[in-house]
Homo-oligomer: A and B are copies of this chain.
Amino acid sequence: MSKRILIVEDEPAIRDMVAFALGRAGLEAVHAADVRAAQDVIMARVPDLILLDWMLPGMSGLEYARRLRRDEMTREVPIIMLTARGEENDRVSGLEAGVDDYVVKPFSARELLARIKAVMRRVQGETDAGTVELGGLRIDGPAHRVFANGQPVAMGPTEYRLLHFFMSHPERVYSRAQLLDQVWGGNVYVEERTVDVHIRRLRRTLEPFQLDDLVQTVRGAGYRFSTTP
Contacts and interface: CB of A to CB of B under 8 A. Distances in A.
Q: Specify the main secondary structure of chain A where it touches its partner.
A: mixed
B181 A121 contact: yes
Given A142-B171, A143-B173, A157-B221, A95 B122 contact: no
The quantity of this chain's copies bound in the complex is: 2
Interface in A108-147: 108, 110-111, 114-115, 117-118, 121-126, 128, 140, 142-144
Interface in A205-229: 218-222, 224, 226, 228-229
A133 to B, nearest CB: 16
Contact of A218 (B114, B144, B224): B144
B91 A142 contact: no
B156 A172 contact: no
Contacts of A91: 111
A92 B121 contact: no
B226 A143 contact: yes
A173 to B, nearest CB: 4
Interface string A13-51: 000000000000000000000000000000000000000
Interface of A: 88-89, 91-92, 95-96, 100, 107-108, 110-111, 114-115, 117-118, 121-126, 128, 140, 142-144, 152, 156-157, 171-173, 175, 178, 181, 218-222, 224, 226, 228-229
* A-B interface, 6 closest residue pairs, ranked by CB to CB distance from nearest: A157-B220, A144-B173, A92-B114, A95-B114, A142-B172, A143-B171
